[in-house]
DNA sequence: CCTTGACCCTGTAGCGGCCACAGGGTCCAT
DNA sequence: ATGGACCCTGTGGCCGCTACAGGGTCAAGG
């Protein structure tokens, strides 16, 4: 007797704050198992899907790629394994985030410089424009008629 | 007499550190003007293209979108206009960068927490896994048989 | 003069991570 | 029976390239 509760894709979407299309997408790319279907060919999800999708969404919010999410899910399923592998994925991701922050901070610095130099004159004397069109790249061009 | 120098797409690519395909792409999407062609249908670039592409690349390095780059180019061409519009584009971009930094810093914080809690036991007791599968989202699910 | 190999051309498909249709089917309340 | 809210599949689009495939062009060397 299949007395388990089940709910539609729309319900699952609402419960997890995910768009319906995204859920179908997750199924296609294999981060969410394909659920049973009703007689009318509707997807019928159970509690395990809700759990799974919550995990996926949370990991995505934390910036993990879908590939990483797949890895994490697989790792998380192996309940008796040591969790070093999970830890490693997280650390790698943290490093990536830190690199990105550093890059963006450098960018911020450059942009602030740029903007700070603007004297609000005409474009012809605009430092921003000048900074964007720098003294050309490596030489070696003008030798080919 | 068209005595101007001209050079190939490969030369332009080398000089600006851009891939050949990217240059053709820029032409397609209208951030780099289509150059003259040689009798053999090769693109023949001049100094103005080098200047233009340098500008584009520099702006891209600074994280401006191609749409913004198009705007900046058009603004930069109007040499006698006041440069407020340029300034505005730059400021908007800076704000975006700052928002992104803030987001990533919040992320970093969460990730550090996550990782800091790992006791290197089994997956079953791993805090990372637990943190990723949180107490379900908004209620209102299990009421539909 | 002919071949070789480096370059160039166009066009198309793919990446990630979805989102937004179009064109249909299903289900439930009225 | 009908309307409207939902569901289905499939396709195309977004950004900013990148990577082919399948050809053409050109200069140097034999």
pLDDT over 50 (residue B33): yes
Q: What's the mean pLDDT in A20-24?
A: 97
Mean pLDDT value across chain B: 88
Q: A88, A68 in Cβ contact below 8 A? A: no
A46's CB contacts (< 8 A; 6+ apart) are A4, A5, A6, A35
Mean pLDDT value across chain A: 88
Please tell me the CATH code under which domain A1-81 is placed: 1.10.1660.10
Closest-CA residue to A142 (of B133, B73, B51, B22): B51
CB within 8 Å of chain A, chain B residues 16-35 = 16-17
Q: What's the mean pLDDT in A101-117?
A: 93
Q: What's the mean pLDDT in B73-80?
A: 90
**Strand D at less than 7 A from CB of B100:** no
pLDDT over 70 (residue B71): yes
Q: Is CATH 1.10.1660.10 the classification given to domain B1-62? A: yes
pLDDT over 90 (residue A144): no
Distance (Å, whole) CA B22 – CA B29: 10
What ipTM describes this predicted complex? Answer: 0.81
B114 C-beta neighbours (distance < 10 Å), count: 22
Distance (Å, whole) CA B121 – CA A13: 34
Q: Which residues pair with A36 in a beta bridge?
A: A44
Which chain B residues are Cβ-neighbours of A75 within 8 angstroms? 123, 129
Closest-CA residue to A96 (of A56, A68, A136): A68
């Amino acid at each position: 007797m299949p007395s388990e509760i089940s709910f539609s894709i729309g319900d699952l979407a609402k419960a997890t704050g995910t768009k319906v299309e995204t859920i179908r997408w997750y199924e296609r790319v294999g981060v969410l198992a394909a659920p049973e279907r009703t007689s009318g060919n509707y997807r019928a999800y159970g509690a395990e899907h809700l759990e799974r999708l919550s995990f996926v969404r949370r990991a995505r919010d934390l910036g993990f790629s879908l590939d990483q999410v797949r890895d994490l899910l697989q790792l998380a399923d192996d309940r008796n394994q040591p969790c070093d592998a999970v830890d490693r994925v997280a650390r790698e991701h943290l490093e990536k985030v830190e690199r990105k922050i550093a890059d963006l901070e450098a960018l911020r610095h450059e942009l602030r410089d740029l903007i700070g130099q603007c004297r609000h004159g005409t474009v012809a004397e605009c430092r921003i424009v000048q900074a964007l069109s720098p003294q050309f790249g490596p030489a070696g061009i003008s030798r080919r008629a």
